[in-house]
Structure 1
């Protein structure tokens, strides 16, 4: 069953609509790209689909039902800026284990060093912290992953390593993905289809 946004609309306060009557679906096992200029609402759409924000109009459905409001959400979002997604006062071990407890081999597949786990977020680089955020989002109950410019701040080699690891998990579990990016070459390489926000 798909993750669906039906007739979605959003605006901040009484300001202009970022978008209206926007439909988007991602099926299990499908990788969908979301492209478009800055300021068109790509990040906001990702937040709506993951349940972080509530649409002004329309609805988000998973298996034909609203997203769960408690417990582990099967739709996970990885933000572009990892420092905004974690509590700076918690050690990385606790942050990583919030939704599930990945074993050492899983962490190593994403290049997470054991010594990082006893540190605070501010003691890691942005790229190191993003690895932690990606693994945290890939719990066994995750059915859809929304990657919002997930590797934009990383060098090309690290990007390739992380995407390879994520795609291995997605293929193994038939996990659906929405990839938000300005990099059209990345979307062309990863995605089954691309949706343009004009």
Structure 2
């Protein structure tokens, strides 16, 4: 299985392109890093690759077919700021199961405690919230995970725990991971291939 972007171009208005003629491919089970200076379009590209934004030029395909418009999205994106990615009016159990049932082994690996499930988002720390967002993104239908500065805001121990869990689950299920980060050490440690945005 392959996630492929061909000749991708994106602009918010006609006068300035964020990027153009961009090609990118990732296979099942592969971990690919994307690095580049701030403002070069990495987050926008992540949103295009996961179907949150529609490219102005080019195609994004999964197994040679367009990304699905309805139902569970097999390409999941985890953002840098978890508090912006959850509904503040839902308890965490509802947030967690928004896209379907989540595997108990995954919750254990990520260190999600049972007592957190009954809490509201504002009752959890950033690290606790991000564990939920990662678990939600790793539903059984996920084939590719795009981690956009996923652990940048977290302490080193929490970062290590989350990445250990994500890599283990990805290995078991052959999930491809796109790691977008400014942290060179993280990219070097996790990724078999690195793409630099200019």
Structure-2-length-normalised TM-score: 0.97
Q: What displacement does 1:105 show?
A: 3.5
Are residues 1:185 and 2:185 paired? Answer: yes
1:125 aligned residue: 125
Structure 1 Cα separation of the partners of residues 50 and 132 of structure 2: 19
Structure-1-length-normalised TM-score: 0.97
Are residues 1:13 and 2:21 paired? Answer: no
1:25 aligned residue: 25
Structure 2 Cα separation of the partners of residues 103 and 193 of structure 1: 29
Aligned residue pair count: 198
Structure 2 Cα separation of the partners of residues 148 and 163 of structure 1: 13
Are residues 1:38 and 2:38 paired? Answer: yes
Q: What displacement does 1:15 show?
A: 4.2
Structure 1 Cα separation of the partners of residues 120 and 69 of structure 2: 29
Structure 1 stretches of 4+ with a deviation exceeding 4 A read none
Structure 2 Cα separation of the partners of residues 13 and 147 of structure 1: 26
Where do residues 140-151 of structure 1 align in structure 2 (5 Å cutoff)? 140-151=140-151
**Is the 8 Å Cα contact of residues 6 and 23 (structure 2) preserved in structure 1?**
yes
Runs of at least 5 residues in structure 1 that lack an aligned partner in the other structure: none
Structure 1, 99-108 or 46-55: larger mean CA deviation:
99-108
Specify whether residues 3 and 120 from structure 1 end up closer, same or farther in structure 2 by C-alpha distance, changes over 3 A only. same
Q: What displacement does 1:23 show?
A: 0.5
SS of 2:189's partner is: helix
Are residues 1:155 and 2:148 paired? Answer: no
Runs of at least 5 residues in structure 2 that lack an aligned partner in the other structure: none
SS of 2:33's partner is: strand
Higher strand share: 2
1:138 aligned residue: 138
Structure 2 Cα separation of the partners of residues 179 and 94 of structure 1: 27
RMSD across aligned positions (CA): 1.0
